[in-house]
Structure 1
Amino acid sequence: MWTGRWSAGETVLVRGMGLNFFDVMGQLTEGRGGQFVPAEGGLHGKLKYLPSGQEPKIIAASRRGTPYRAKAGLDGYYPKSVRLRYLTESAVERFAAAGIQPGFDHDLWPLLHRDALWAYYSTLVAAEPVAVSDATEFLAALEDLLQPHAHATGRWENHVAELVSTHVASSRRLDLLGLAAPLAGHSFASRKELDAAVVDYLDDDARRSALGESDPVKMAIGALHTGRAILKSAVADGGITDESWVGELRGWFESFVEGLASGPPALRAEQLAALARAGVVSFVGPDPRFSVDRSQRVFRAVSAWVHDDAAEARILIEAMSPANRVGVSVSPFLRQLLADGLVRPKVMMTAEGTPVQTSGLDVQPHPYRVVGANGSVTPGMYALGLQLSSTQWGTAIAAEARPSDGRGYRSGQRTLRDADEIARDMLGLPLQK
């Protein structure tokens, strides 16, 4: 195993704190004989790490300075208590029926934002009623302010903020965008101080995950997660403008929602907190900058938000998944197709009118025949799955199991339907509507 090449106590820098990071973490700790046991005192969700003495010293870095938020403990893929009221399939269909090509920020995000707010505050009232004064009156007023007709004024968010400030304890108000950047705006006198802050974040996040559908934060995230299923259908096949796709959906929302709704199981957050308490793992801080000192043969990482010496190690593990971009793919197959002019990347226009090469292949509409460099179509050549990432959003998940309550979304089996359409086209059969 590649992780066995480094001696005990050696410092290892790890870049990226997504799901790959937790695989590395497991190999370098439990994989070397360490054990996690319940913390003394029986504190729920808190673990203690018993080192084997064979572990390296792990220093972890990511743009946020923390891992993605852990998944809530749920019975299914989506929280049963979350029912989208505003970003619904029927709402999306109304845009199409009216001949409107929506923008993400202007049309779709305000609806999903409403759903996240309602999920949070309705859960807060149910789980922690003392945090809200006149709860029944508050929810009725909130429901009225969230009605989509308020979207026309452009001030509905301000009205909601005023209502919340009147009724909700300041420590329980939702900062939705802030959930994805828990260390934003904070500076730390030392890496030790940073480590303590990250452990507090991990412990709190794991505690919330354990509460499942009783935690307001996790249900706001649950609304965003559920909303992704609607968005996948809404934005596919030119559903939103090019500039909205490039600058809004992919520009800010994708990384935002992934950091909240695509994290590890809560157990991994509990384990990471235990490793940090044991001194096996420490952190670099937000917005890390990496460098190589070739004369000293070391890698360095430093955060402007942490007033301490740079982290330094002879070894750097790249735990970030490479971006799926056909234009820079190292796949010999894709590179040859590009070189031969049989395929080309999809180009979209930004709001400034600048052409941008996007991540996926340029294709015709269903059943997604690929478009070559000169605009021609090669018979019998189709695209499926990941390489449709400029036509569909969220192509990494090919299919989702139908929820136990029978609710399903049209996007849930998109890749399977695409494969069926390609097969029918190859056989000369009509496409099903």
Structure 2
Amino acid sequence: MGNAPRHTGDGGAPLALCVIGCGPRGASVTERILANVPALYGDRPLDLHLVDPYPHGAGRTWRPDQPGLLWMNSAAGQVTLYPDATVECAGPPRPGPTTAQWLGGPLHDGAYAARRDQGRYLLRFLAEVTAARPASVRLRLHRARAVDLLRTGDGRQRVILDGGLPPVTADRVLLAQGHPDLLPEPAPPGLTRIGPGPADPGALDRIPDGAPVLVRGLGLVFIDCLALLTEGRGGRFAPAPGGALRYLPSGREPRLYAGSRRGVPLPPKPALDPAAAEADGPDEPLRFATAAACRAALARPGADFGRDVWPLVLAELGWWYYRALFTAAPGRARTGWPDFAAQYALLATDPERLAKLAAAAVPDPADRLDLARLADPLAGAVFTGPGDLQARLRAHLAATLRRRTGPAAAPERALVDALRRTGEVVEDLWRAGDLAGAAAGDALRRFSLGTYLSSGPPPLRAAQLLALAEAGVVTFVGPDMRVTAGPAAFRAVSPAVPGAVHEAAVLLDARLAAGPPARLADPLLRALWERGELSPEPGDDGTAGPRVSGPELHPVGADGTVHRDRIVVGPAQFPRPYANAAALRQNDAIARRLLTGD
């Protein structure tokens, strides 16, 4: 907060902390605050306020009252909020169950919980950790939306709540509202526009039975909408020959014409290794892209992330991928792993020579690691018409399912794991101050590949999508989908399918889109942007989120003021157990910063 005095709670009102947004991120920071109180704050009185209009702990995304058709996209055995002994943080550990261990029952697709069941886990987590809080901590739960955050004359802050509820006075505030929604854009008269934002069962009910619908987005929101618009309207899936699925329509499902920038759906999560369906031990150490190696590369004069660090990441990805390929499918290689590994280690930082080594050892190009092909399967493709595109996309979905299920899943499962591990190393370098400025932006851009390859739906959802495409319920529009609104209909085209035009009176924006601050639906965030207490990174329009003070995550105002009594965090993936989870380490650091003001 610039140069305003910091309230410490000594000799007057207790120190007051306020967490705005108490979904998984806010609940985890709350747990870390309570775990760190004895060492950092002793038995001095502390007021802790949790503000959320949705159930505290679950938040909106994981609230227990949503349809059971909406699933998690992370395996329940690989999800926890409890910091185990592998988490390298200053605060004490608090071991606890994974979602799968806590639920104890059958899961969808063998591994995935319904989101409402994950919500039950989160509610139980918060109830457990707050019940065991130190006696000096007074907990206040506010089932309300924060609509503004104002400074007071004594250096404190006032959190304004909706519904005419009394405001909350706090010394330090955490903003953890998750992915921000946008205000809806109006549709022309007679047309219907839904989204962008998470799948909304009530909004989807506005789509008439059998109506054509243009869908923008092929990610996780799209998968959720598919479930609600097909099984949710009485359709069902039945086994088909060869282990595939067949969709049996109810007649109530709309006809969906769907596209996106890439033009292809997210690849499904690789099927879990049946021998290790639940994480049960520390991750294996990295070989090439270790923290020490990456830090040394960045320390060189004139270091460039793409030139000096990214080759280490590529070497790590290839090592894990090919080791899994050679081990799980030795018949697909001309040589054994020990010989290949010895040569690979010598050429690790030379991508061109590594590619030649792989070409010589792995005869089928489809078995070789090709990140560009995986990242953009339709790059440069031009189709003769919609039928040509549908055949190509159905073949692509079937091939992706084969690569990511059964024994064939081992190489891509290893690749996804390596992307997660190397991404955490680079994130740690950023938090430590070794990575900043243009290098941090370059790293973020390159690791977006990891998000695309690792954040897909459960394999069963991908198999259902293929069945829906074969049944004609889903028709793909193509890459670089462009949507315009005419007087009577929305129109969608793709430059990869010349002459093809799709029209519908309903546009479903099935995505979590970013937008300028003026379009934020959250009144608190919008007010902070309007007053200049949040500001964009230089050269950005604010759609990428507010500017923060590096790893400390204090927001930086338009006048350059660093608001040190506020911390802003975005949504994060669920932490994995026994993996020294980066999210838990960050949440511990945030909690300690809130307690100490440092």
Would you say 1:190 and 2:374 are equivalent positions?
A: no
Cα deviation, residue 185, structure 1 = 3.0
Q: Which amino acid aligns with 2:271?
A: G
Q: Which amino acid aligns with 1:385?
A: V
Q: Is the 8 A contact 1:78 1:225 kept in 2?
A: no
Aligned to 2:55: none
Cα deviation, residue 326, structure 1 = 5.3
Q: Secondary structure, in 3 states, of the residue corresponding to 2:287?
A: coil
Would you say 1:401 and 2:582 are equivalent positions?
A: no
The structure-2 alpha-carbon separation of the partners of 1:370 and 1:76, relative to structure 1 and needing over 3 Å to count, comes to same
C-alpha RMSD of matched pairs (Å): 2.8
| Alpha-carbon distance in structure 2 between the residues aligned to 1:324 and 1:238 | 29
The structure-2 alpha-carbon separation of the partners of 1:217 and 1:372, relative to structure 1 and needing over 3 Å to count, comes to closer
| Corresponding residue to 1:86 among 282, 288, 303 | 288
Would you say 1:298 and 2:489 are equivalent positions?
A: yes
Cα deviation, residue 83, structure 1 = 4.9
Output the TM-score relative to the length of structure 1.
Answer: 0.81
Cα deviation, residue 116, structure 1 = 1.2
The 10-residue stretch of structure 1 (273-282 or 205-214) with the greater mean CA deviation from structure 2: 205-214
The correspondence of residues 308-323 of structure 1 with structure 2, limited to 5 A, is: 308-323=499-514
- CA deviation vs aligned residue, 1:138-185 (integer Å, no higher than 9, x gap): 332122211xxxx4xxxx112112222222203322211210111223
Q: Which amino acid aligns with 2:559?
A: N
Cα deviation, residue 126, structure 1 = 1.5
Output the TM-score relative to the length of structure 2.
Answer: 0.60
Aligned to 2:328: 127
Aligned to 1:271: 464
Q: Which amino acid aligns with 1:195?
A: Q
| Corresponding residue to 2:534 among 324, 333, 343 | 343
| Alpha-carbon distance in structure 1 between the residues aligned to 2:464 and 2:448 | 24
Cα deviation, residue 112, structure 1 = 1.2
- CA deviation vs aligned residue, 1:349-399 (integer Å, no higher than 9, x gap): xxxxxx4456343444665443333233456x312311xxxxxxxxx2165
Aligned to 1:332: 523
Larger Rg: 2
Aligned to 2:556: 371
Q: Secondary structure, in 3 states, of the residue corresponding to 1:63?
A: coil
| Alpha-carbon distance in structure 2 between the residues aligned to 1:398 and 1:384 | 16
The 10-residue stretch of structure 1 (198-207 or 414-423) with the greater mean CA deviation from structure 2: 414-423
Would you say 1:18 and 2:211 are equivalent positions?
A: no
Would you say 1:226 and 2:421 are equivalent positions?
A: yes
| Corresponding residue to 1:105 among 306, 311, 315 | 306
Aligned to 2:237: 36
Cα deviation, residue 265, structure 1 = 1.0
Q: Secondary structure, in 3 states, of the residue corresponding to 1:59?
A: strand
The correspondence of residues 350-369 of structure 1 with structure 2, limited to 5 A, is: 355-356=539-540, 359-364=544-549, 367-369=552-554
Q: Secondary structure, in 3 states, of the residue corresponding to 1:383?
A: strand
| Alpha-carbon distance in structure 1 between the residues aligned to 2:478 and 2:517 | 32
Cα deviation, residue 30, structure 1 = 0.5
| Alpha-carbon distance in structure 2 between the residues aligned to 1:101 and 1:398 | 33
Q: Secondary structure, in 3 states, of the residue corresponding to 2:227?
A: helix
Q: Secondary structure, in 3 states, of the residue corresponding to 2:576?
A: coil
| Alpha-carbon distance in structure 2 between the residues aligned to 1:288 and 1:402 | 39
Aligned to 1:164: 358
Aligned to 2:591: 420
The correspondence of residues 210-249 of structure 1 with structure 2, limited to 5 A, is: 210-211=405-406, 214-236=409-431, 238-246=433-441, 248-249=442-443
Q: Secondary structure, in 3 states, of the residue corresponding to 1:239?
A: coil
Unaligned stretches of 5+ residues in structure 1? 348-354, 387-395
| Corresponding residue to 2:245 among 35, 42, 47 | 47
The correspondence of residues 255-270 of structure 1 with structure 2, limited to 5 A, is: 255-270=448-463
| Alpha-carbon distance in structure 2 between the residues aligned to 1:19 and 1:170 | 31
Cα deviation, residue 32, structure 1 = 0.5
Q: Is the 8 A contact 2:431 2:550 kept in 1?
A: no
Cα deviation, residue 288, structure 1 = 1.3
Aligned to 1:392: none
The 10-residue stretch of structure 1 (111-120 or 199-208) with the greater mean CA deviation from structure 2: 199-208
Q: Which amino acid aligns with 2:421?
A: T
Q: Is the 8 A contact 1:13 1:315 kept in 2?
A: yes
Aligned to 2:137: none
Q: Is the 8 A contact 1:213 1:219 kept in 2?
A: no
The 10-residue stretch of structure 1 (14-23 or 192-201) with the greater mean CA deviation from structure 2: 192-201
Q: Is the 8 A contact 2:555 2:568 kept in 1?
A: no
| Corresponding residue to 1:65 among 243, 251, 263 | 263
Q: Is the 8 A contact 1:382 1:422 kept in 2?
A: no
- CA deviation vs aligned residue, 1:93-115 (integer Å, no higher than 9, x gap): 4457x577954312322111111
The structure-2 alpha-carbon separation of the partners of 1:289 and 1:338, relative to structure 1 and needing over 3 Å to count, comes to closer
The structure-2 alpha-carbon separation of the partners of 1:106 and 1:235, relative to structure 1 and needing over 3 Å to count, comes to farther
Q: Secondary structure, in 3 states, of the residue corresponding to 1:215?
A: helix
Q: Secondary structure, in 3 states, of the residue corresponding to 1:301?
A: strand
The structure-2 alpha-carbon separation of the partners of 1:365 and 1:24, relative to structure 1 and needing over 3 Å to count, comes to closer
Aligned to 1:389: none
Would you say 1:383 and 2:567 are equivalent positions?
A: yes
| Alpha-carbon distance in structure 2 between the residues aligned to 1:6 and 1:327 | 28
Q: Aligned pair count?
A: 390
Q: Secondary structure, in 3 states, of the residue corresponding to 1:257?
A: helix
Cα deviation, residue 249, structure 1 = 2.7
Q: Secondary structure, in 3 states, of the residue corresponding to 2:405?
A: helix
Cα deviation, residue 262, structure 1 = 1.0
| Alpha-carbon distance in structure 1 between the residues aligned to 2:423 and 2:280 | 11
Q: Secondary structure, in 3 states, of the residue corresponding to 1:5?
A: coil
